[in-house]
Chain A
């Protein structure tokens, strides 16, 4: 619904991805310099200027397939490799974590604080690289410029857009189950106690006024929760106490990342139905977007002085193999393979269009969106 949502979705999911990769790199005892290189490469790709420029353009959220493909590429932006099963698990964890954060934000506007929490942590990963740090701070500035002045109503729209994107996702995450923030049916716990959002009054009071505006009566009522006033507001500055813990790193050496794939919600059937309405994953618009983004992402071949390595999101290789075999059908992510399209008819159509139009930048509402894509595909 809101056309301003994509940057927030991308940056927060990216932040979660980095938390998980960081934890797994340490758990798997990858040498510190290699681990640092991986994170630096990924962060540098994520915050690439052209990339960010594309991201911040007003647009609808793209499909889950398209987004998943972007993260697939991002995870492979360095010398690290992930098998399909590990990539699936990584994506499951990222999405459930951000869904949790959005759902539990006290105010819709707090999703910006969650984003800042992620960015603060990302800055921590790349302290030794001033150039990348500069990119991250520029993005911070972009966020402040674009979102700092938005109304509560606009943030409510953004929140709804994000929740619509995450609708029907109920993957159970071990760390959430252990911390009792997720129930065994996959739904998140919504606490009815604690501080109210900044700007909200503790519920329980009815105030009656005269026509002149004078308060004549105050009546208390039992509202059912156990709320207290909010202590202070989180900072939206470049540096500051965000107050909110959502979006900070919840993983550590001693808290491994696991997901339970069984007992997936039956509502997934209806979710996949939604996706099937636009069955061809090669929809021009999405390809366009992806191609532009991936123009900046080169897959590094694991050869030369820095040999690559494989990261496993599971504790053992056997577990990873097992996970790949037992993943429920409805939860498989189809990654869009731009280079190896089997759809001959579409190829012919693209080739025809390629011949007819010249390459130029088109604004969003334009009719011939295929042009930019075709220009990029020339280079593939």
Chain B
């Protein structure tokens, strides 16, 4: 059972984008940071455990040529071994900041040269693996940036080709094992999933076709890919081989966000049908098969959810954003 906690007010409503909530837990300082995209601006705020907002900052997409201010597509914290960076993607490029958003340490402008007049140019999909940050683009290319332990000497190390349509989301293995065969998964608008092994040169491990239904959100947990689709399905695959293990008819509308509480194997799915569901993932010891159990379903009335994240490592609390909603809704288990 979950109960609603006090919501955290936002300066501007959440934009109707997928994966529109990023959460950075800082247990050492008893703080939680939230990041939400409003449109041409994104809002970062930090809150105490009871949800009292303490500090906030607004970031804007770097301007460029064009009629109107560029829209931000996503904002996401990347936790690397020696630092935390905040990454912001927009219709112009990729901005990387120190974790509190105070200083921009890197700017990468998107190259729209190959775009046909009918294609929108943007970056979307952000995740970190080891000392790399991967960012997806409108063309399907995934940009891999090599991040130093400190300072602004960030380098574009590789461009991964694997997708033919716009990248939607990227996920990485939370547990960084030594011989992790597959630790990055990228998803796109056609539902195709590409599983990679990170390194100085990324290697494509396998591809999982999507049959035209977009995959807006993806997660990776102990060798299992969890993917949420535009038809409301959540599917779990073996990361190394692409074998389908579980198929869940989870939602009645497009899924907009997935999140993981890796320590306990909990998966959160949120969709435009106003529902948030929590699932328990496990590996059967005898068969080695991935199994799923439904734990909880929460309806956020009359709200087209656009972002959802766990707020603590045990998955006992989560936060939700909704289109047109100027607050972050919070739920915690009783």
Interface residues of A (CB under 8 A from B): 1-4, 58, 60, 62-63, 103, 106, 108, 151-154, 156-157, 159-160, 163-164, 167-168, 170, 183, 187-190, 192, 196-197, 199-211, 213, 219, 221-225, 227, 266-267, 270, 273-274, 277-278, 283, 285-286, 363-365
Contact = CB atoms under 8 A, between A and B. Distances in A.
Contacts of A203: 232, 249-252, 273
Interface of B: 11-13, 15-17, 38-40, 66-69, 71, 73, 91, 117-120, 122, 165-166, 188-190, 212-214, 216, 230-233, 238, 243-254, 273-275, 277, 289, 291-294, 297-299, 301-304, 323-324, 326
B115 to A, nearest CB: 10
A212 B250 CA distance: 23
A202 B253 contact: no
Given A187-B302, A209-B246, A267 B275 contact: no
Nearest to B116: A58
A37 to B, nearest CB: 37
Nearest to A106: B253
Contacts of B67: 60, 62, 278, 283, 285-286
A267 B12 contact: yes
Chain B facing A: main interface SS: loop
A200 B243 CA distance: 22
Given A151-B189, A203-B250, A209-B246, A163 B16 contact: yes
A133 B292 CA distance: 56
23 contacts: A3-B117, A3-B120, A60-B68, A151-B165, A153-B189, A156-B214, A157-B189, A160-B17, A164-B39, A167-B39, A167-B323, A192-B274, A200-B253, A203-B273, A205-B248, A206-B294, A208-B292, A223-B275, A225-B275, A270-B11, A274-B69, A363-B117, A364-B117
Contacts, number: 180
Given A156-B189, A203-B249, A209-B245, A277 B40 contact: yes
Given A1-B71, A160-B17, A286-B67, A270 B38 contact: yes
A270 B12 contact: yes
A274 B40 contact: yes
Nearest to A216: B289
Contact of B122 (A1, A154, A219): A1
Secondary structure type dominating chain A contacts: loop
B12 A204 contact: no
B141 to A, nearest CB: 16
Contact of B250 (A103, A152, A223): A223
B16 A3 contact: no
Contacts of B16: 159-160, 163-164, 167
B120 A1 contact: yes
Contacts of B292: 206, 208
Nearest to B39: A274
A202 to B, nearest CB: 7
Contacts of A274: 39-40, 69
Given A190-B304, A211-B289, 8 more contacts: A1-B91, A3-B120, A151-B212, A187-B324, A201-B231, A201-B232, A206-B247, A207-B248
A3 B166 CA distance: 14
A211 B274 CA distance: 33
Nearest to A270: B12
Contacts of B91: 1
Given A3-B117, A204-B249, A189 B122 contact: no
Contacts of B122: 1
